[in-house]
C-alpha cells in the first residue's frame, strides 16, 4: 500500500481523544501490534491546525511512541507522520 509523509512543520497539533488500544480482532480481544518492533498499537485522535484550518485525524501509534499521561487539549509534537 503506498504511503506519503505529511509535513507538519507549520502546524499546531493537540490531542483530541486520549490513546486507546487498537484491536486486531475485537471478538477475541487480540491487540494489534507493530510488525517491526512487536509493540502494542494505540489509536489517538489529533486536532491538526494549519493555515487557519483544523482537522481531526485518528492516528495509530506504537506504545513506545506515546508520551505518558496524554489527555485531550494537550499540545503535542508529531514526527514521522505518514498517510496511506
Alpha-carbon distance 27 to 50, whole Å? 38
Query: Domain residues of the chain, as ranges?
Result: 4-78
Q: Is the pLDDT of residue 6 over 90?
A: no
DSSP 8-state code for residue 40: B
- In tens, the pLDDT along 15-43 reads 999 999 999 999 999 999 999 899 999 99
Q: Is the pLDDT of residue 68 over 90?
A: no
Q: What is the pTM of this model?
A: 0.84
Q: Is the pLDDT of residue 1 over 80?
A: no
Amino acid at each position: 500500500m503506498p504511503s506519503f509523509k505529511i509535513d507538519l512543520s507549520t502546524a499546531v497539533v493537540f490531542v483530541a481523544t486520549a490513546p486507546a488500544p487498537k484491536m486486531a480482532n475485537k471478538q477475541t480481544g487480540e491487540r494489534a501490534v507493530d510488525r517491526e518492533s512487536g509493540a502494542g498499537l494505540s489509536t489517538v485522535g489529533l486536532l491538526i491546525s494549519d493555515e487557519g484550518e483544523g482537522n481531526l485525524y485518528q492516528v495509530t501509534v506504537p506504545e513506545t511512541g506515546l508520551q505518558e499521561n496524554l489527555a485531550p487539549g494537550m499540545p503535542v509534537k508529531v514526527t514521522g507522520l505518514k498517510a496511506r
